[in-house]
Amino acid sequence: MSPRPDPRPAAGGPPAEAAKAAPRPGERTAADRLAFWSRQAEELHWETRWSEVLDWSAAPFARWFTGGRLNVAYNCVDRHVEAGHGDQVAFHWEGEPGDTRTITYADLRREVCRTANALLSLGLRAGDRVAIQLPMIPEAVFAMLACARLGLPHSVVFGGFSPAALQSRIEDAGARLLITSDGQYRRGRAEPMKANTDEATRHAPSIEHVLVVRRTATEVPWTEGRDLWWHDLVDTQPDEHRPEAFDAEHPLFILYTSGTTGRPKGILHTSGGYLTQTAYTHRAVFDLDPDTDVYWCTADIGWITGHSYIVYGPLANRTTSVLYEGTPTTPHEGRHFEVIEKYGVSVYYTAPTLIRTFMKWGEQLPARYDLSSIGMLGSVGEPINPEAWRWYRKHIGGDRVPIVDTWWQTETGAVMIAPLPGAAPAKPGSAQAPLPGVSAKVVDDQGREVGRGESGYLVLDQPWPAMLRGIWGDEDRYRETYWARFAHRGHYFAGDGARYDEDGDIWLLGRVDDVMNVSGHRISTAEVESALVSHPSVAEAAVVGASDPTTGQAIVAFVILRAGATDGDAAEVTAALREHVAREIGPIAKPGRILVVPELPKTRSGKIMRRLLRDVAENREAGDVTTLADASVMDLITAGLTGRPPRTD
């Protein structure tokens, strides 16, 4: 791949793609923003061009590229084959047990066409919903693109979710078809999947068929007339299908995210605006060259990162990607670095929690592998600690490559805030500035923009193409959840806190409900966590505020120590950490308690579940653990703190 600019020097302009995409000086008015997005949309194939870039007359419900018609799957697959790129690899697929597949764009087109024909044979028509619960196997991509090709909104449910979680999503969407597999590989074992989906569909009358991919070759329960094997139905279909163009606002997918009420929110994304922004951001943020780069986003397809930056954005840009089924520790802790070396990965996009896990394992691990192909690193999921940023760059990036720290959400659909590589000096831990075409501000309680050096609430004050079009079936909840807080100003409230530094760059502080109030002082959990991780003994940290009768809230920290740091007296280590935080932030931020733990409770997407840690800190029984990547972690934490052995049931 071509050399990438070092992000540290201020000299030099942005890379060619970013420079071409960036607004011209003064392009900050609404008309300029719309002209910018119009130019990005022109990078796609449209059957019918739009008549209006944005219709915001029914705010907060947007209509982008009004009157335009396109087919998302055609843009992601067929047009590349027709342009002569059929032999280019779309995916290097790596199964957890070590099995592999190489899928070219021509292969991808054939498989998507077969899958689309199979769905048509089941009587599905545009507008019908399809639920998908699959492991990270190629059929997951085939199924998503086949749905997009036919105008069937898909609802992808993460493979580790419980039957109850799957059932609630099927019922809310009214899905007619469920696509699943017999099982999935997790940490070297074949785990059941079909048996769980049967439990979910037992009381889901909308499901007419269950299409099952054979992955683990394990015996599964079977309902004749309803259940169908993928290889029997799909593999026998014709490999040609003529796609139909759909309106730019045709629903593309519903992706459910947890809600504060316990009832999941079905985030609705549509076609034209979503594909425009995911394709643009993927090109610009990663400075991507489709002819030379090998790109790997380590997320799961069941999350928005997988939708936008494994499937739709990369394929729209004719990217060669790695698709990996397994966990980072199977069969050994160097698996990710082994995959990077094997395929010559040049762009690596992962979560801060995994980076901190690598830190815990030690710098000697990546040093065993040839990572010289890496030319760009990305971070996603939550704010990255400056110390983790520096470690990532030094030990994965060879102390020579840019890191793009990206902020966005399921609801935004695409990256909103990130540094364009080479465009400005990097700031470890800062997402820095909104991307061209995006407008974001940090505001106070009244919605007024705060000054430099001040903190507040992160809002988006202008509509954007990939924005959610509502919550499926619940307009009132959409308005109340995202628009009510600053309704008088028309701001979308992201739910995150942020601050401007003295240069006006943005630093994310995490969810506003992760801000602690200690003796009247508002302290971000992210700030304390960053201070802890900056200590050489700490590999990872999570901080929560626990109720305290004196101070309102007391700071409780859970830390994972680096190898060798546990050799001394634990009380001495925690005392040193408390003083370190006091020096880094101030005495008010000194944790009341620091608890050394073996692991932290994380979701499958890598986010720390601080709600569960708050339960521990306040001596409550831990709440729902079904979304954890490893539910046994909570038993280990509780056992370590109480001295009782963990449960084995």
pLDDT digits (tens, 9 = 90+) for 31-56: 799 999 999 999 999 999 999 999 99
Q: Which two tokens stand for residue 605?
A: 């997407």
Name the binding residues for CoA.
186-189, 305, 519
pLDDT band for 262, please (50, 70, 90 cuts): low
Expressed in angstroms, the distance from the first to the final Cα of the chain is 51
- Tell me which amino acid residue 434 is: P
Work out whether strand 492-500 and strand 506-511 pair parallel, antiparallel, or are unpaired.
Answer: antiparallel
DSSP assigned state of 157 = -
Q: If residue 249 lies in a helix (H) or strand (E), which one and from where to where? A: none
In 218-343 the beta strands, taken as DSSP E runs, fall at 227-229, 246-247, 251-257, 265-270, 294-297, 320-324
**pLDDT attached to residue 624:** 64
Binding residues for ATP: 381-383, 405-410, 496, 511, 522
Euclidean distance between CA atoms 38 and 47, whole angstroms: 15
Q: Name the H helices within 267-333.
A: 272-285, 304-306, 313-316
**CB under 8 Å to 626, separation ≥6 — which residues?**
161, 162, 164, 165
The reported pLDDT for the residue numbered 619 is 81
Decide if 69 contacts 478 (C-beta within 8 A).
Answer: no
Least-confidence region, from 80-84, 284-288, 538-542: 538-542
Tell me: pLDDT of 537 over 70: yes
For 146-177, how does the pLDDT look when each residue is reduced to its tens digit (9 = 90+)?
999 999 999 999 887 778 888 989 999 999 99
Q: What is the largest CA-CA distance in the chain?
A: 71
Residue among 635, 607, 640 at smallest CA distance from 622: 635
3-class secondary structure, 256 = strand
Residue 19 DSSP code: H
State residue 625 phi and psi, 5-degree precision. -115, 15
Residues making up the annotated binding site are 186-189, 305, 381-383, 405-410, 496, 511, 519, 522, 533, 535, 538
For residue 207, pLDDT over 60 is answered with: yes
Find all residues with CB under 8 Å of 41, minimum gap 6, and list them. Answer: 50, 53, 65, 68, 272, 276, 465
pTM here is: 0.82
Write down the pLDDT at residue 594: 92
Residue 495 tokens read as 């739910």
Give residue-wise pLDDT tens across range 583-611: 887 777 889 899 888 888 887 666 788 88
Task: Give the mean pLDDT of 116-143.
Answer: 97
- Known binding-site residues for Mg(2+) equal 533, 535, 538
Identify each DSSP E strand in 59-176 by its residue range: 61-66, 69-70, 89-94, 100-104, 130-132, 154-156
Burial class of residue 129 in the structure, from the number of CB atoms within 10 Å of its CB (0-12 exposed, 13-18 middle, 19+ buried):
buried
pLDDT over 60 (residue 9): no
Nearest Cα neighbor of 521 from 585, 580, 449, 457 is: 585
Q: Tell me: the pLDDT tens digits for 460-509?
A: 999 999 999 999 999 999 999 999 999 999 999 988 889 999 999 999 88
Q: Residue 6: is its pLDDT beyond 50?
A: no
